[in-house]
């Protein structure tokens, strides 16, 4: 099992505290007096370049990162995850989403032969099903082929596949994909407007087939379908389930043959690699879905075998700890200069904040250090005209990852060149800033009167000294995307190990669910009464009155 020691009790943590007091005084641009800095602090992994030279670090920092990783037994933790130990101790489960994308390297652990056989069987079933839907072999109750597929899920059953389908839209050549997640009726109602019941297939993505939001939308979809089809028996031609609850699925009206299994060792936010990825396979084809898996497998191999100094997830994870716990950074940003990745930050929000938003350590004691960070992000260049002002001249330290493709998927005039110029300019600007003297010189050259210059020059000063990572990949292919996702998964894992918390449960979502269930009965039946605080009671009474 994972080591249960507070990071603040390690020798490396004490050394990092002393080191932080020294390096925080050094401006980032001064670190670049070392002309070999980029060479020292960048990593190439296949077609990915990871540049972390624009960070408040030096060679001593990296040495101390590695000391801390060793004291927290990171190597053993990595092995435990890949070998199928039950590292999700609060739920007594293994964490084996990596097995779902294992082709070349099937790591040995208890029951591995049967496990990989089951995974392969589900993959083959996904291939057959997605091929039938895409080719038109699968037909609806009226004999028409499927033109639209609706994935109904929430959380990891929505964010992951939706993000990937958007990211790989360039390759989409199957039926039109739609995603419904919100229990707000507006979401599914607006989706229905685009659909024909005779040519629509619904994928109900719920491990237990009991998730409130998902099943509410699923029953609404079934009712909408049956208004046209009339016959309950036709449900099996228009609904499939990504679930483990066979009894509930069959009761709903879905054929047993149209149930696609996944396992309890697959957490929701790691489930796009499983049958939950069916919408991806339908959209871009099963072969490309496998390319996505193989890209992630390559990242798994890199994470497990690369020396820590050249290990992208390890460096990313340690940098996150460095800024959160030593510099006091509350936020981090992921800024893809790639419109196809517009849902990537939202996906990473769940991955990071649901995993590491914890305040209790593995030994059950309260932590006395910062865990997790608020993750925000938008695609460039949109974000530049939105919230970059806060990063450049605000009072917060916000480390940021910038992502960009070397080659565009769409050749349009000089669009990509302009995109890349902004990508490069922003990280440089955040690093070097602009001093008061530089501003005054610039104003003088522009012939701004001295009285006016005195009024505005401080507003034009940029402090700089803002840390960034730059990630460049050749082109956004399914293989490249698989690598990117897996690298961030492992970054989150590294941080969980260092922070001595369990990253694979999410008990924090339970309380709200339980209370919502109780309040639902009170909203539906005004005779039902239950004690609440005066605020909740007041709001409840107001909602019971209804609109005017």
In this structure, the number of other CB atoms found within 10 A of the CB of residue 412 comes to 7
Cα-Cα end-to-end distance for the chain: 59
Contact status, residue 198 vs residue 221, Cβ threshold 8 Å = no
Q: In terms of DSSP bridges, do strands 468-473 and 48-51 run parallel, antiparallel, or are they unpaired? A: antiparallel
Torsions phi, psi of 90, nearest 5? -70, -20
Closest Cα to residue 132, out of 291, 271, 286, 276? 286
Catalytic residue among 213, 291, 332, 354: 354
Catalytic residue among 513, 518, 526, 541: 513
Q: In terms of DSSP bridges, do strands 374-376 and 259-260 run parallel, antiparallel, or are they unpaired? A: unpaired
- State how far the Cα of 71 lies from the Cα of 280, in Å rounded to an integer: 40
- State how far the Cα of 52 lies from the Cα of 37, in Å rounded to an integer: 10
- State how far the Cα of 73 lies from the Cα of 475, in Å rounded to an integer: 35
Task: Please enumerate, as own/partner, the contacts of 287-290 that have beta carbons within 8 Å and a separation of 24 or more.
Answer: 288/168, 288/171, 288/478, 289/126, 289/130, 289/478, 290/123
Torsions phi, psi of 177, nearest 5? -100, 140
3-state DSSP assignment of residue 152: strand
- State how far the Cα of 261 lies from the Cα of 117, in Å rounded to an integer: 13
Closest Cα to residue 99, out of 116, 113, 87? 116
- Is 513 a residue of the active site? yes
**Using CB atoms within 10 A of its CB, is residue 130 exposed (0-12), middle (13-18) or buried (19+)?**
buried
H, E, C per residue of 348-379: HHHHHHHHHCCCECCCCCECCCCCCCEEECCC
- State how far the Cα of 252 lies from the Cα of 522, in Å rounded to an integer: 27
**Using CB atoms within 10 A of its CB, is residue 408 exposed (0-12), middle (13-18) or buried (19+)?**
middle
Catalytic residue among 24, 385, 475, 541: 385
- State how far the Cα of 546 lies from the Cα of 277, in Å rounded to an integer: 40
- State how far the Cα of 56 lies from the Cα of 24, in Å rounded to an integer: 7
Query: Which positions are annotated as active-site residues?
Result: 354, 385, 513
């Amino acid at each position: 099992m994972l080591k249960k020691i507070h990071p603040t009790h390690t020798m490396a943590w004490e050394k990092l505290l002393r080191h932080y007091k020294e390096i925080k005084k050094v401006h980032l641009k001064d670190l670049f007096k070392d002309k070999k800095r980029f060479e020292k602090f960048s990593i190439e992994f296949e077609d990915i370049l990871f540049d972390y030279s624009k960070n408040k670090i030096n060679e001593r920092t990296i040495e101390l990162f590695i000391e801390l990783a060793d004291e927290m037994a990171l190597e053993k933790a990595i092995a435990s995850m890949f070998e199928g130990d039950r590292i999700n101790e609060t739920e007594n489960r293994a964490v084996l989403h990596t097995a779902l994308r294992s082709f070349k390297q099937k790591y040995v652990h208890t029951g591995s032969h049967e496990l990989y056989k089951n995974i392969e069987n589900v993959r083959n079933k996904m291939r057959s099903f997605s091929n039938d839907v895409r080719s038109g072999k699968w037909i609806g109750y009226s004999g028409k082929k499927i033109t639209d597929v609706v994935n109904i899920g929430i959380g990891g059953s929505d964010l992951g596949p939706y993000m990937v389908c958007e990211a790989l839209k360039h390759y989409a050549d199957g039926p039109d994909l739609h995603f419904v997640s919100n229990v707000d009726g507006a979401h599914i109602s607006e989706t229905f407007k685009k659909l024909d019941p005779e040519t629509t297939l619904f994928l109900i993505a719920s491990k237990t087939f009991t998730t409130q939001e998902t099943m509410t939308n699923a029953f609404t979809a079934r009712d909408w379908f049956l208004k046209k089809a009339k016959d309950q028996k036709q449900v099996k031609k228009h609904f499939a389930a990504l679930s483990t609850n066979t009894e509930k699925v069959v009761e709903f009206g879905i054929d047993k043959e149209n149930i696609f299994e996944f396992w309890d060792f697959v957490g929701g936010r790691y489930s796009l690699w499983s049958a939950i990825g069916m919408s991806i396979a339908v959209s871009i084809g099963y072969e490309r879905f496998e390319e996505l898996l193989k890209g992630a497998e390559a990242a798994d191999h890199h994470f497990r075998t690369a020396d820590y100094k050249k290990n992208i997830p390890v460096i990313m994870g340690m940098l996150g700890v460095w800024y959160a716990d030593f510099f006091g950074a509350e936020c981090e940003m992921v800024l893809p200069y790639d419109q196809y990745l517009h849902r990537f930050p939202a996906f990473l929000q769940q991955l990071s904040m649901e995993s590491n938003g914890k305040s209790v350590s593995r030994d059950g004691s309260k932590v006395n250090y910062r865990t997790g960070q608020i993750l925000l992000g938008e695609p460039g260049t949109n974000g530049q005209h939105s919230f970059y002002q806060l990063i450049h001249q605000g009072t917060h330290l916000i480390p940021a990852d910038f992502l960009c493709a070397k080659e565009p998927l769409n050749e349009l005039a000089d669009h990509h060149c302009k995109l890349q110029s902004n990508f490069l300019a922003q990280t440089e600007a955040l690093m070097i800033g602009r001093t008061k003297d530089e501003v005054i010189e610039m104003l003088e050259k522009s012939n701004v009167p001295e009285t006016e210059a005195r009024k505005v020059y401080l507003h034009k000063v940029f402090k700089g000294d803002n840390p960034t990572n730059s990630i460049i990949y050749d082109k956004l292919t399914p293989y490249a995307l698989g690598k990117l996702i897996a690298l961030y998964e492992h970054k989150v894992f590294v941080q969980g190990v260092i922070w001595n918390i369990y990253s694979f449960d999410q008990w924090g979502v339970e309380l709200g669910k339980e209370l919502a269930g109780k309040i639902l009965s009170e909203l539906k039946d005004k005779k039902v009464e239950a004690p609440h605080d005066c605020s909740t009671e007041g709001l409840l009474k107001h909602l019971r009155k209804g609109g005017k």
